[in-house]
Amino acid sequence: MTILRYLWLRLGLATIRVRPEYKNTNCWIIALSGIHGTVTLAMAFSLPLMLHGVTFPYRNDLLFIASVVIVLSMLVPSLILPALLPRQKEPFLREDANAARKEMINYAVKKMTELNEDPLETQAVIATLHSQNRPEKIKNRRILKQLFAQTRDVENEVLDEMVSNDEISEKDRRLYQRTMLTRDFHSDNSILRGLWLQLSYRFVYFFKRLIHGRKIRQNQQRIRHNPKLMKKFKSKHDTLVEIEDRTTQQVFKYLKSPMVNKESHTDISIVQRYYRERHRRYQNNSNSNEIQEELFIKAFQFEYNFVQNQLSENKLTRELATALYEQISNDELIYMQNDEIYD
């Protein structure tokens, strides 16, 4: 059967779409592949045990032969196919990925500069974009989730210490812990769930600005023109900033300690970026955060547009484009996690 399969393909009685130089190899691969003898064994089992009062001749021999054929059809390809099949190659070189990523970021930076909007906030966004130069791909979400759980424990230890020393109230602790719960919710999402969150985030953002924009501005004006409310708001904000500053310092100290597995450096880098971004958002006022929110959405869209244009012009392979899309998606997800804190 193996010889017949090979000749059937080699003589062109069955058409396979391969380059001529690979035809012989592919004919052998197809000839060797697949389990043989299954139907034969089923037919052998259908033979009667007795025929005209005597044992059916050679029944056990036929069962044995069919079983051997099945075993050989599994073992032989397993030993020979690795030698016939081409070695797996990396879909793209690391140097190409780094060059494409740098070009993508430069494109987004150039477009952001051309917008000619708030220069101070634009520079803050551009600085964050440059941090994308280091590729970060989530290999195992379970490890990342464990690392976030460890940093959450560090934050809780700092909160316990501050409450016991009467530096903050129990109410302040609960308010701050809301940010931790938001982070835990997002870090447990799958890739598809993350994509859905990105789409829903953009929809909710524009819907909120469209429907509630006026109400938000009225509340901001009411707080600004009411000294008592303004003082209360500033006091609460300063308390949260102090808590965040203390917890972030301890988290970064913990991530550099020997207790953290240094082999998971990609996951550590993602966690560090999350805390850096959160720290930046805490230090800004609500006005700055709102402006940066709009600028970040535009910056991420510029990056998506760059990859799409390069892919359509065949300047990027599909594998490299997918890697860039995933990088943008991870950065956008980190930003979204921090943005939930301020809703």
pLDDT for 203 beyond 70: no
* Separation of alpha carbons 271 and 20, rounded Å: 50
Residue type, 22: Y
Tokens encoding 240: 């949260």
Higher pLDDT, residue 200 or 326: 326
pLDDT at 26: 85
Helices (H), the chain: 2-10, 23-32, 38-45, 59-84, 94-115, 119-130, 141-164, 170-187, 191-211, 213-224, 227-255, 265-283, 286-312, 318-339
Residues, the chain, total?
343
> What is this structure's pTM?
0.47
Nearest Cα residue to 327 out of 137, 198, 195, 100: 137
pLDDT for 172 beyond 60: yes
pLDDT at 128: 73
pLDDT for 205 beyond 70: no
Higher pLDDT, residue 129 or 336: 129
- pLDDT tens digits along 252-311: 888 888 877 766 677 787 787 778 777 766 666 656 667 777 888 888 889 999 999 998
- pLDDT tens digits along 3-44: 888 898 888 888 777 777 778 888 888 888 877 888 888 998
Candidate from 47-51, 52-56, 224-228 with smallest mean pLDDT: 224-228
Nearest Cα residue to 128 out of 296, 267, 341: 296
pLDDT for 137 beyond 80: no
Nearest Cα residue to 7 out of 25, 37, 33, 31: 31
pLDDT at 191: 46
Give yes or no for a contact between 40 and 64, defined as CB atoms under 8 angstroms apart.
no
Give the DSSP letter of residue 22. G
pLDDT at 29: 86
Per-residue pLDDT, averaged over 229-256, amounts to 76
pLDDT at 20: 77
pLDDT at 107: 92
